[in-house]
Amino acid sequence: MTSTRPSTGKNPHGHAGPRRNVSARQAVLDAADDLLVERGFAGVTMEAIANRAGVAKQTIYRWWKSKVEILLDNLEEDGEAALAWNHGDGEPLAELVGQLSRLQAFLRDEAAGAVMHSLIGQALHDPDTAQRFREGFLLAQRRRDLAGLRNVLERLDCAPTGDAELAELLDRLLGPIYYRSVVLGISSSPEFLEELAHSVVGQAREGRRRG
């Protein structure tokens, strides 16, 4: 959501100077996204981004360390909104299924899903990317997911007391969806998602009874 360099504040010197060109920034983000969809991750080169965005390479390197950072910026802008929990006053279980569907749709989405898959892929290749990806997006999303899930379970009177138990429940919900999408490359059907939600909520209820 925020840019790579903290430069979008006051100019630190008493003096002046040009500010960051926002349209160039957006052009870079869009170019990277488009290239990813059109040519795949290997086609997302700094050269190609610069070319398509009509921007000098140096301008890209001034604001981003690598193409991964560019994709991360894209993910941060798209991901948070797309994966926000939508607490209404309806059926909590339906809400949970809805959230799982939203994740599934996000992962299948042409642009955002491609970025997500690419970043996971690159994180598997390179520890630095892994750290940036997790710190820059994944952990924040996980925190939001944990809060959302707790909210749902509390309304169903079966929220676990500990955070660890909640996290395990979350991973049992998200794990199969991610696994199918990321490793197997297949989608999860609505029925699967529904069964999954039911099963894990049932497990939470049982844990509640036992705990």
**Nearer to DNA (CB atom), residue 59 or residue 187:** 59
The reply to whether 179 sits near DNA by the rule CB under 7 A is no
**Nearer to a second copy (CB atom), residue 19 or residue 90:** 19
The reply to whether 93 sits near DNA by the rule CB under 7 A is no
Q: What would the DSSP string read from start to end of the chain?
A: ---SSTTSSS-SSSS--PPP-HHHHHHHHHHHHHHHHHH-GGG--HHHHHHHHT--HHHHHHH-SSHHHHHHHHHHHHHHHHT-----SS-HHHHHHHHHHHHHHHHH-TTHHHHHHHHHHHHHH-HHHHHHHIIIIIHHHHHHHHHHHHHHHHHTT---SSHHHHHHHHHHHHHHHHIIIIII--PPPHHHHHHHHHHHHHHHHHHHHH-
Mark the segment that binds DNA (CB under 7 A) among 16-24, 76-84, 149-157, 198-206.
16-24
Interface residue with DNA among 3, 30, 37, 46 (CB under 7 A) is: 46
**Nearer to a second copy (CB atom), residue 8 or residue 199:** 199
Which residues make up the interface to DNA (CB under 7 A)?
7, 11-21, 24-25, 45-48, 54-59, 61-63, 66-67
